[in-house]
Amino acid sequence: QQPVQSPQAVILREGEDAVINCSSSKALYSVHWYRQKHGEAPVFLMILLKGGEQKGHDKISASFNEKKQQSSLYLTASQLSYSGTYFCGTYRGSTLGRLYFGRGTQLTVWP
Amino acid sequence: SQTIHQWPATLVQPVGSPLSLECTVEGTSNPNLYWYRQAAGRGLQLLFYSVGIGQISSEVPQNLSASRPQDRQFILSSKKLLLSDSGFYLCAWSGTGTISYEQYFGPGTRLTVT
């Protein structure tokens, strides 16, 4: 039931792009993306709803392919502040509010 | 605006001692509430969630319990801590009457069982 994230880790130089993938074997209602910096709590980034549009703010965007039960997070022109662990959380629309989180993707951006 | 508080921020407890962690939410009513545990360098494990006062669902059988005595208060407890209970405990809330259920996390409690 836990979604699968890939890759497990990414190392980038400032200004480079990255893609983080999240896939589920179950039909999804929505996909949530969070970023957690070391020693801190996860912070909500964005949500992709079934039938909704691709989301994004600043240079971080995401897409959701409902038919494939997959979502991708796109980070363009990475900044040092993008470093952290990114988690996807999937909502299947059954148990109210219950999200299934992936194991996370550790992103490191070097100057 | 909504705010979520957790305390204490850090805790060191001996094996076999009791535990009580508290979480409160401000600025919203009837939220869904969640307790997660995160082991060092690992993902988020859902422990309990609640959709209302006195309504608790347990995800993982363990020596922990949760209670929701008030609408915006969520408590995580244990009668006797184990070494394996060490970790980063996170409380989160999400709105109701919405289709999105995005979750907002508190600052967390770092528990070390010695």
Question: E-assigned strands of chain A?
Answer: 4-6, 9-13, 18-23, 30-36, 43-49, 55-57, 60-65, 70-75, 84-91, 99-101, 105-110
Answer CATH for A4-110 from 3.30.70.2500, 1.20.140.150, 2.60.40.10, 3.20.20.150: 2.60.40.10
In this predicted structure, what is the pLDDT of residue B61? 65
Locate A104 and state its tokens.
């996370």
CB proximity A91 to B under 8 Å:
yes
| Strands B64-70, A84-91: pairing kind | unpaired
Digit-by-digit pLDDT tens for chain A (111 residues) are 789 999 999 999 999 999 999 999 988 888 999 999 998 999 999 999 877 666 666 789 999 998 899 999 999 999 999 999 999 999 887 767 788 899 999 999 999
Strand partners, A86: A35, A105
Backbone angles phi, psi at B99, to 5 degrees: -100, -5
Could you state, in order of their start, the residue ranges of all structural domains in chain B?
Answer: 3-113
Mean pLDDT across chain A: 90
| pLDDT above 90 (res B21) | yes
Fold of B3-113: Immunoglobulin-like (2.60.40)
A92 touches chain B (CB under 8 A): no
pLDDT in tens, B63-100: 899 999 999 999 999 999 999 999 999 999 998 766 66
CB A10 within 8 A of CB A105: yes
CA–CA separation, B29 vs B75, rounded Å? 17
List Cβ neighbours of B66 (8 Å cut-off, separation of 6 or more): B35, B47, B48, B50, B56, B58, B74, B75, B76, B77
Contact of A53 with chain B, judged by CB distance below 8 Å, is answered with: no
Min distance B82 CA to chain A CA atoms (Å): 22
- Is A97 within 8 Å of B90 when comparing Cβ atoms? no
Check residues B57 and B24 and name the one with the higher pLDDT: B24
